[in-house]
Chains A and B, each alone.
Chain A
Amino acid sequence: MNQQARAREKTTALAAEQHFSLLVDALPQIVWTANADGAIEYFNQHWFDYTGISFEEAHGSGWQSALHPDDLQIFLDRWNKALRTGENCEVEFRIRCASDDSYHWQLNRALPWKENGQVTKWVGTITDVDLIVCRDLTDRKQEEAFRTGQSHVLEMIARGEPLESVLTSLMLLIEAQVEEMLCSILLLSDDGGHVRHGAAPSLPPDYVKAVDGAPIGPKNGSCGTAMFLAKPVIVTDIFTDPLWEDYRGLAEASGLRACWSTPIFSGSGKVLGSFAMYYRQPQSPSGSEAKLTEVATHIAGIAIEHQRAEEERRRAEDQLTLLQVITMEVAAAQDLPSALKVVLRRVCETTGWVLAQAWIPSADGSVLECSQTWFTTAVGLEEFRLGSERTRFLPGMGLPGRVWSAKQAVWIRDVTLDSNFPRVQEAEGTGLKSALGIPILSGDRVIAVIEFFLREPEDEDEHLVNVITSIAAQLDMAIERKHAEDELRRTQGQLAHVARVTTMGELTASIAHEVNQPLGAIVGNADICLDWLANEHPDLSKVAEAIEDISRDGHRASEVISRIRGLAKKQLPQKITLDINEVAREAQALVNHEANMRGVTLLTEFAAELPIVSGDRVQLQQVLLNLLMNGMDAMTTTERQQRRLTISTGNDGGQALVSVCDCGVGVEQGQSEQVFKAFHSTKSGGMGMGLAISRSIIEAHGGRLWLEPNDGPGVTFKFTLPSSVAEAEA
């Protein structure tokens, strides 16, 4: 090797060494070498930077001072073993870091340098595992927190918490993942044309308010456009992007500069809303946001769909409840006006519509007239109400007229903009906007039109129209049923009346006698008085006594008459609370005389404590009267001394029980039910309706009427009446 070559070689080696040194010193970890005995020969620059211990100090075993005292022995044991065996050595220990004056975990890896199988040198690295572990830990913790956050939001959805709080939690979670980034969610309105506030916990309230209700379109900021196109829209600088032309001022005032919006889709691919990331300076996506966006839109989609389903369910439930309530109340209503009133009130209360009115065709069917049935939940609508009362509608005219001719629902979004709304002035004066008219049909005939008003212009709500239409159908059915019921009740009432009058006919003789007795006494006493008073010195105390008798007998006669008049009266049944003992006593009084005439002994066994029943006094008296007369008829051929008729009352498992027991001819076996059939009569001249009517009366009262043969002669008729208390509780 020549000088030049050597020099060149030397230069090359020097350069290599320099290069190596530079390289090693640049490494972000400690690099060291030691001789075969383990004595340290070299530390790179990082050692000095990290421990602050100079090479001189660290030389030999001086470096050991940098180790944590607890870890030194463990390390030396392992290190000596490695020196003996010549194997790799990996040990963790703590080294004091000069910059923060604290110990950090380090991984020390020592590799033997071998020549011809002999260890000639050791090389090693010391790496700060704390830093690695720490960074790793931070990432993992954050990841985990993010996942926990997602679960939390999903839980909120499952718990059915309000959509806004769910979305707000979701936005806060997303925002926590990226610094300087603000999130918002906007919802697509039901009509599919506008944006609605969803959640934006960190955006300026004024901005949020201004955006709420904005239309969507091809040039409506990031979100409006994203929803419109159903595609993500990235605006890196709001100030320059044409999509934001109309909203630039707003964004500027709110200090927003970049907005990336991604549509939120339903499971079926429908746009539900949008998720947006905002920055306060121009910003392009770095790619790391994609995952966050995916999480945000996915969870938001679930939340919105869940809420929509919940709303749908609740609305269906509310409407069902409304229908049920109205059906029940309408069924209880006495006539069309009161049924209408129920419907108007309930619909307003449930739906939030402020005014409801009903229109009825005039008698000749030429115009619709405003009925007295109306309802309002608001004040200050008098002007409109008065305007309605003044107005009559021809077919096709105005809202009621249109509904009348079309025989179907009519929805007007804003009556003040409608060309066929004669009451527009009053509507403007009272601030009414949306209107809905529904026909109430009986068969093919419109028997009424109901109309509802709202103060806001609303688009047609198909659900609401359907619900009110089905309510209207209920109304019609209820009215028809009511008519049928009334008709039936009238017929039954007439039949019962005829039967009652027939029974009274049978009682005529004894009734006449009962009235005649006091009348005879009255006339007699009056004549005596006249005679006495004709004397020069009448004994006035005697006269007074006689007149007192006259007065008493007069009352007696009138009592008999009123008792009978009650029975003869023709009226629809009226249910009132009754003491059944009293009803039985009255019936007994009515037949008392008849029983005397027929030589029948009337006995009573009234229970002291009876369930209070609700019923029609006259009808129940009629039943008892009928049973008593039947009982007496059955004993015509009975020995005079044996003619006993017993009325008893009692308590039968919470029901009032009334029995009429005779000692008469009885009923043939197998005829116990036959006697309740209409036109079944064993009496000559009997209509055969008495027991049939009695049974229908008792059944109409919710009770039962039957007959039982006695152990001895005769039969016992029994009927029960449910306690009105139990009825009210049921």
Chain B
Amino acid sequence: MKEEKPIVIIVDDDSSMRTMIARLLDSVGLKSISFSAPEEFLRTSPPDDPACVVLDVQMPGLSGLDLQRELAKAEHQLPIVFMTGHGDIPMTVQAMKEGAVAFLTKPFRNQDLIDAVRQALNVDREARKQRDQLASLRKRYESLTAREREVFALVATGLLNKQIALQLGTTERTVKAHRGVMVQKMEADSVADLVRMADKLGVGPTET
């Protein structure tokens, strides 16, 4: 497994704040990249490593909340730590509802920002793990034959081999053979494992 290099994306129109936050993150060993406007940041490709956004709410052009909405549209949603000069409650509520990790009011305590950033990175790390797991699961699923997928779907619904064979109009032996290969391919430990996988893959029995 390659070494993880988390990165913090700072978006603030105020250069002093950007510098200070970058300095702060650097002091705790966190890499950061700064943008003076949300538009600038949106033009860049998403990072490969765990990342989060430290975002100023009030900015000319697109505001922080606008950026949050834009990011939500993307497949890969980065966790956001909001900063505001004068946060009001409705704004905070809206931001949190839309998935903000933290909402800091300037001037904030440095530790609060570090904690929030770390939390956000963890969120992203977790999200990435989730995404990676799903991706490998999907890859395994895609290696199944059509018949094996049918068997997978039916096994995941909790049917017995006998019932599956009946449904598929084949023999119990054949089902057993498919099931064996399928379990191997899916690297499943148990039926419960398979059920979770099916749930994650969104695979359900095809009504016939």
Contact = CB atoms under 8 A, between A and B. Distances in A.
Interface of A: 509, 512-513, 516-525, 527-528, 531-532, 542, 546, 549, 552-553, 556, 595-597, 599
B23 A553 contact: no
Interface string B13-31: 1101101110110010000
Nearest to A521: B16
Interface of B: 13-14, 16-17, 19-21, 23-24, 27, 58-61, 83, 85-86, 106-110, 113
Given A524-B107, A524-B110, A527-B109, A596 B59 contact: yes
A523 B110 CA distance: 9
Nearest to A601: B60
Contacts of A549: 16, 19-20
B19 A521 contact: yes
Contacts of B14: 517, 521
A517 B21 CA distance: 12
B192 to A, nearest CB: 49
A520 B19 contact: no
B58 A596 contact: yes
A513 B85 contact: yes
Nearest to A524: B20
9 contacts: A516-B85, A516-B86, A517-B85, A520-B106, A521-B16, A524-B110, A525-B23, A531-B110, A549-B20
Contacts, number: 70
Contacts of B58: 513, 596-597
Given A520-B106, A520-B107, A528-B110, A599 B20 contact: no
Nearest 10 A/B pairs, CB to CB: A520-B106, A521-B16, A596-B60, A520-B107, A513-B85, A523-B107, A516-B85, A524-B20, A527-B110, A521-B20
A198 B110 CA distance: 103
A552 B14 CA distance: 13
A509 B16 CA distance: 20
Contacts of A512: 85-86
Chain B CB count within 10 A is highest, among A516, A520, A532, A556, for A520
A374 to B, nearest CB: 61
Contacts of A509: 86
Contacts of B110: 524, 527-528, 531
Contact of A596 (B13, B23, B83, B107): B13
Given A522-B107, A599-B60, 19 more contacts: A509-B86, A516-B106, A518-B16, A520-B17, A520-B106, A520-B108, A521-B20, A524-B17, A524-B24, A524-B108, A525-B20, A527-B24, A527-B110, A528-B23, A528-B24, A546-B20, A552-B16, A595-B60, A596-B13
A518 B18 CA distance: 11
A549 to B, nearest CB: 6
Given A516-B85, A528-B24, A599 B16 contact: no
A518 B20 CA distance: 10
A2 B16 CA distance: 173
A509 B87 CA distance: 11
A487 B107 CA distance: 46
A658 B108 CA distance: 42
Contacts of B16: 517-518, 521, 549, 552-553, 556
B90 to A, nearest CB: 15
A519 B19 CA distance: 13
A531 B27 contact: yes
Contacts of A528: 20, 23-24, 27, 110
A499 B14 CA distance: 31
B14 to A, nearest CB: 5
Contacts of A597: 58
B38 to A, nearest CB: 13
Contacts of A522: 107
Contact of B17 (A521, A527, A542): A521
Nearest to B17: A521
B21 A524 contact: yes
A410 to B, nearest CB: 73
Interface centre among A517, A595, A599 (most CB of B within 10 A): A517
A509 B91 CA distance: 15
Contacts of B17: 517, 520-521, 524
A552 B17 CA distance: 12
B12 to A, nearest CB: 9
Contacts of B107: 516, 519-520, 522-524
B162 to A, nearest CB: 65
Nearest to A522: B107
A596 B85 CA distance: 14
A519 to B, nearest CB: 6
A410 B108 CA distance: 80
Nearest to A512: B86
Contacts of A542: 23
A597 B24 CA distance: 27
Nearest to B24: A528
B49 to A, nearest CB: 24
Contacts of A531: 27, 110
A556 B17 CA distance: 13
Contacts of B59: 596
A260 B105 CA distance: 115
Max chain A Cβ within 10 angstroms of own Cβ: one of B20, B58, B113: B20
A638 B186 CA distance: 57
Nearest to B14: A517
Contacts of B60: 595-596, 599
Contacts of B27: 528, 531-532
B13 to A, nearest CB: 7
Contacts of A523: 107
A599 B23 CA distance: 30
